[in-house]
Amino acid sequence: MDVPNLSYADFEVGFGFDPRTNDYMVVRIAFPCTSELLLSYKNEVVLDQFRNYRILVEVYSLSTDSWRLISNNACLPPSTYLTNRSKPRTCLNGCLHFTAQYCVTVEAAIASEAYCGSVLAFDLRDQVFREMIPNNMIRLRRQMDEVDTCICRGSLALLHYYINEDPERARPRERYCCIWVMKEYGVVDSWVKQFTVEIHHLNVLGFTKNCQPILRIEGAQYSWEQELSSYDPQNQQATKLGIHCRHHLEGIICVDAYRENLVLLSKQQTLVPKLMEDEDGKRKRKRCSHN
């Protein structure tokens, strides 16, 4: 596919599938002003840019083999910018989920005061952003505090990384990950806190079928070697999975659910096979074609 040229400062790409339109899509979001620029230039020009923060959203459709530019209704909420732009986006229920940060005022951002974490769902069919968590639910108080998303047993999961500042804890200033699950998709008040994992400076990459976190942890022999382990929150034990990587390659390792399909990317007219019922009630595959 041909990718249009961009003149914006930064951009992010996501890939997903919308079961409602039976189509695969690529979403590219371009940023005219990054958070680094905001913090580097403390003047009214940049403040005005951030107050009126607008993005450019382009959507590629596999069924039509074409790009479409989204109108201004795809702009982010005020004083909000996307984060974790190097990580794959979580696709669920026909939406791509992007992590973000926001503050009450731009002046608070310049003063490096506390931010709030957020999750924005980009609907691949309606092509608009929707906020997925209540305001002020996740506070980001330190530079290393952040949020991420993944899927746990078919539900949207929120990962809140933070530094423990409680002097009463046995291991102060350690890094933790608090895991939340959205029990009813799209209902912002249905988030339920599951458990917290002490993970030092490493990350949760995903979950097993039993909803056990898959962690990237340091190797037993060398700190620059890392390996994947599953973590049982009940007995607080980690089980090695036999997958190793080096520290400088950690950015290319990701965990995602695997699902078979019959889509041929070389043939745009071929869409996703649907499961249909025959006269006997048995489920069978039926290929849908785009003319």
Work out the pLDDT band at 210, boundaries 50, 70, 90.
confident
Asked if the structure places residue 17 within a domain, the reply is: no
Asked if the structure places residue 105 within a domain, the reply is: no
How does pLDDT run across 42-90, given as a tens digit for each residue?
Answer: 445 555 555 555 677 889 999 899 998 886 545 666 667 777 666 778 9
Mean pLDDT of the chain: 74
Asked if the structure places residue 290 within a domain, the reply is: yes
Query: Is residue 114 pLDDT above 80, yes or no?
Result: no
Number of domains in the chain: 1
Q: What is the pLDDT of residue 288?
A: 40
Give percent above pLDDT 90 in the chain: 24
d(CA 255, CA 149): 12
Q: E strands of the chain, at which residues?
A: 10-18, 23-31, 56-61, 66-69, 80-82, 90-92, 95-102, 115-123, 129-131, 139-140, 146-152, 155-163, 175-182, 191-198, 204-207, 213-218, 225-232, 237-246, 274-277, 283-286
Asked if the structure places residue 286 within a domain, the reply is: yes
Residue with the larger pLDDT of the pair 5 and 212: 212
Asked if the structure places residue 278 within a domain, the reply is: yes
Tokens of 88: 């794959």
Domain interval for residue 271: 262-291
Global pTM reads 0.76
- Start-to-end CA span in the chain (Å): 19
Asked if the structure places residue 51 within a domain, the reply is: no
Asked if the structure places residue 282 within a domain, the reply is: yes
Q: Name which of 23, 8, 1 is nearest 288 in CA terms.
A: 23
Asked if the structure places residue 271 within a domain, the reply is: yes
Residue with the larger pLDDT of the pair 227 and 108: 227
